[in-house]
Structure formats: C-alpha cells, structure tokens
Amino acid sequence: MTHISKNKLPSKEFNSLYNQMTDLVASFNKESTSEFFSELLGEEERVMLVKRLAAVVMYIEGNSSYRVWQLLQLSPSTAEKIRLDYERGRYNKLTNIIKRQRNRYHDFWRTLEIILQAKLPPRGRGRWKSALSSLKH
C-alpha cells in the first residue's frame, strides 16, 4: 500500500501544483506520457490506477460488485466503494471522457474482456456478451 505523509500541503498550494501537473501531462505525446507514469509511479500505484479504471469501466458496462472484485482481484470492500462512488456520480466526468474516446474505450474494453475471459472457465452459452455491440449504436 502507498504511504502518504501526514504533513500535507495547504489545499491552495496543492491545487495549484496539481493543476500545473495536469497541464504538463496534457502536453505530452503518448510515449512521454507512458514514460512519465512509468518513472513517477511505483508498480503498486500503476496497478491500483489500472484496476480502478477497469472497475469503473466494468460498472459502466453493468457488471456487479461481485464480478468486479472476483475478476480484478480487488477486495470486496474496495469494489463496493468504487461501485457506490460510481452510482453517486463521482466518476461522471471520467465516464463521459471515456465514452467520447470511442475507439480507445473500445480497445480498453476489448483488452479487459480478453483478460477477464481468460480467468473464467469456458462454460455457459452467452456468459460473456460483449459490450462492444452497445458502442456501435
């Protein structure tokens, strides 16, 4: 788990630095963005971000908390917290951004679906209906 110092920056200064960081990252090309995250974030932080994004995408596609925590190997409480946050609208802006990037969303969902299907036994007709058909409309 990531350790966060108890000594916090005042919120005004933090927000200013955070905004500067997002502006900087937004100016990067794909390779630079990848290098930025690879060098700045530790392995646990990268895993946490990917799993959180995958959970949000799974909730967008109507998956249950049970399926999310089982397939992403999250704790039940983490999956439930993300689900509640999703239902309360915490991820509305993220959801809109993701859905506007249809091709990238499609690629992310397809990759996630392949990874998750590999963890399931190949039983039951229609067990994994692709969400991609809903994106075509």
Model pLDDT for residues 28-84, shown as the tens digit of each residue? 998 999 999 999 999 889 889 989 999 999 999 899 999 999 888 899 999 999 999
Instruction: Note whether residue 18 is domain-resident.
Output: no
From the centroid of its chain, how far is CA 131?
16
Instruction: Note whether residue 35 is domain-resident.
Output: no
Alpha helix (H) residue ranges in 61-135: 65-72, 76-87, 92-100, 102-118, 132-135
Q: Give every CB contact of residue 30 below 8 A, 6+ residues apart in sequence.
A: none
Counting the structural domains of the chain, the total is 1
Instruction: Note whether residue 97 is domain-resident.
Output: yes
What average pLDDT does range 80-106 have in this prediction?
Answer: 92
Give the Å distances, CA to CA, from 136 to 61, 103, 114.
Answer: 14, 11, 19
The chain-wide mean pLDDT, for the chain, equals 83
Instruction: Note whether residue 13 is domain-resident.
Output: no
Domain that residue 98 falls in: 40-119
Instruction: Note whether residue 95 is domain-resident.
Output: yes
